[in-house]
Amino acid sequence: MASRNDVARLAALMRGARTLVLTGAGVSTDAGIPDHRGVGSPTRRTVEYGDFVLHEMWQRWVWWRSELSWQILERTRPTTAHRALAALEGAGDVIGVTTQNVDRLHSTAGSRNVAELHGRYDAVVCLHCDRRFPRSDVSTLIRDHNPGREFPPLPPDHVEVLAARDRGAAAACSLVVPACPSCGGLLKPDVVFFGEPIPEAAVRHALALANECDVVLAVGTSLAVSTGMWVLMQARESGARLAIVNRGPTEADRLADLRLEGGAGEVLGGVAEILLGEGG
């Protein structure tokens, strides 16, 4: 748990600086969304992009797990951390957020300059015509194609943004997956699977923010996924100082100018209280 002195040190580092915040799953755990890579999290493989594109079995399984999970995400509300970052952006202390999360809680909280590196759970893309659809519209299609099928709600800690690679369950899954309403192509949740390229527009947005910042603050991420490290290293190459807030070690601890062990909500809430209080 971070001390008051630790929080004050982070606030001092950010005071008067242009701070870019890089967030991972640890920012959303207080909202009930599980962190599959953090301290104590089980090792799990997920369905990869090539599996999904090539095999109907995995398509059925991914859409089944997505349909059960997205309804939980739709009802999830921002945490103290999300609200603090939105308030700090509004006050000019944060220039933007680059996130590895797909839950959209930053935007829901009011953050405006958000680069979503791994996509967004509330949209669907056709892999043939590239048209995008609201997730709610595709949910209606799924239920229309599966009359009488029940979709039991999942407990929040069973939410799967990326479906676990469970071959036995996938083989038994009989979900009828609807095709793209526009072209008949393959629909995919608009989140980045392992083995799938990161959206170029999101990368450009994130790297532009990295080039502008004086401080890059990584929160709630072990930085085990390379996309976060790209942004962090670009910021450092542009002269930014690095601060890290996380429960457990990260891949960039040795590079940090300031390293805090603690939760996102307690630390960011405390930083916002200090900086916004000074501004008031």
Annotated catalytic sites, by residue?
118
CA distances from 193 to 28, 41, 110, 209, 272 (A): 19, 19, 27, 24, 34
Instruction: Evaluate whether 2 touches 260 at the Cβ level (below 8 Å).
Output: yes
CA distances from 170 to 46, 173, 182, 195 (A): 12, 5, 27, 19
CA–CA–CA angle 268, 272, 275 (5° rounding):
135
User: For residue 89, which of 12, 201, 14, 3 has the smallest C-alpha distance?
Assistant: 14
**Strand pairing class (258-261; 132-134):** unpaired
d(CA 120, CA 118): 7
